[in-house]
Each structure stands twice: as structure tokens, then as C-alpha cells.
Amino acid sequence: MSTPGFQSRYGLISLPELRHLPFTNSTTPRETYHRSLPELSLPDFTMALVDAKNPVPQNQRFYQNAYKNHTRLWKIGPRSRFLMTPYLFLLWGTLGASFYGAGRKVLGYNSYFGN
């Protein structure tokens, strides 16, 4: 049975060896393992996969300027017209159909169409 350990950039490090490293000050292997694992096992990545400009400040300025001009928040975004149009059709259409059905019910009809 091998001793528990992990691979780091310094090679395979087992738990008993961790107690002798200078940056650890605990005596139990479990505490040593949990304290030193982030220090030894994380690779040195410096934004290796994504190298893009951060769009958040530009979007923040855009939304804040539109809000200062008293534009409603749900009308500010570039896709809001495509999202709000079907929503408003469904909202007012179902409201109108409900009132139409309620009015017919008051008049004594039990369906939307016919007698």
C-alpha cells in the first residue's frame, strides 16, 4: 500500500514528507495535507485560455446613461424589443380573452363562441 500523496510541480509528495517542509507548522498529516494542498497542487496559469477585453465597464456606462435619460430598465437592452414584443402580445391578448370570456359568462353564455 502506498502512502497518500499528490503530484505537484516538485514531484510526488507524500503526506509524511509534508511535515518537514518549511511552510507547514501542523503536526497531523490531515491538517498538513489540507493546508498545503492549494499551495503545492495549483498550476501557474495566467489567463491561459481567455485573453479578451472586459466588457463590463462599457456595458455599465451604457445602462447608466440610458437610466439617467429615464428609460425603463426592460427597454434598455439591445434585445429587449425582441423579448418584450411577444410578451406584451401574450399579456394583453390573454387579458382581453379573459375579459371577453367573463363578459360572455355574465350574459349567460358558457363558451367563447356560439350559443
What are the pLDDT digits (tens) for 51-78?
Answer: 789 999 999 999 999 999 999 988 998 8
The residue with greater pLDDT, 50 or 86, is 86
- 73 DSSP assignment: G
State the CB neighbour count (10 A cutoff) for residue 44.
6
| 68 grid coordinates | 439617467
What average pLDDT does this structure show over 74-103? 95
pTM (two decimals): 0.46
Q: Is the pLDDT of residue 20 over 90?
A: no
- Is 41 within 8 Å of 8 (Cβ atoms)? yes
Taking CA atoms, 4 is separated from 15, 16, 17, 28, 65, in Å, by 6, 9, 11, 13, 57
What average pLDDT does this structure show over 4-14? 62
